[in-house]
Amino acid sequence: MAGPNEQEPDDDGSITDEMTLWRRISPLWWTFDAKLGTHRVTSAAFEDHPDGSSMSVTIAEEAVGVDVLLDGHEGYGVASFPARVARHDCGQHLVRRPLPKNPAHAEVVGRKTDAVKKKLRLASTVLVQPS
């Protein structure tokens, strides 16, 4: 996220609304919901990093597989959500931030209010359950 004197980066249009974003899910963000009678991802899964950097995602269509997200993260899971939701429903910017081991890495940049995190949670589908 941009600091007080910095501008947020421009939204990257090469990440289209039709693309799917994958988010690595910590086991701490996986809870039993008594109302649903099943486990679900918590809204905490959609916060920015505690170090102040924006929420990390991987562009599914450009990734080699979900294993790239899980390498070195035993017990973690993966959730997916549409880029369209982050961009249009939540007012976030999508910015490519390739990493050496994950060239499909990107960030979801913008303020993550409780409402934004809830929208992302409700739009997400769990691909790999955390253990």
**pLDDT computed for residue 7 by the predictor:** 65
**pLDDT computed for residue 4 by the predictor:** 44
CB 68 within 8 A of CB 23: no
Q: How confident is the model at residue 3 (pLDDT cuts 50, 70, 90)?
A: very low
Average pLDDT, integer, range 30-46: 93
Sign of the CA dihedral with 52 first, then 88, 124, and 100 last: negative
Average pLDDT, integer, range 116-127: 97
Q: Which residue has the tokens 């450009």?
A: 62
- CA 78, CA 128: separation in Å to the nearest integer? 5
CB 56 within 8 A of CB 101: no
**pLDDT computed for residue 5 by the predictor:** 43
- What confidence tens digit (pLDDT) does each residue in 48-82 have? 999 999 999 999 999 999 999 999 999 999 999 99
- Cβ burial of 43 (10 Å; 0-12, 13-18, 19+) is middle
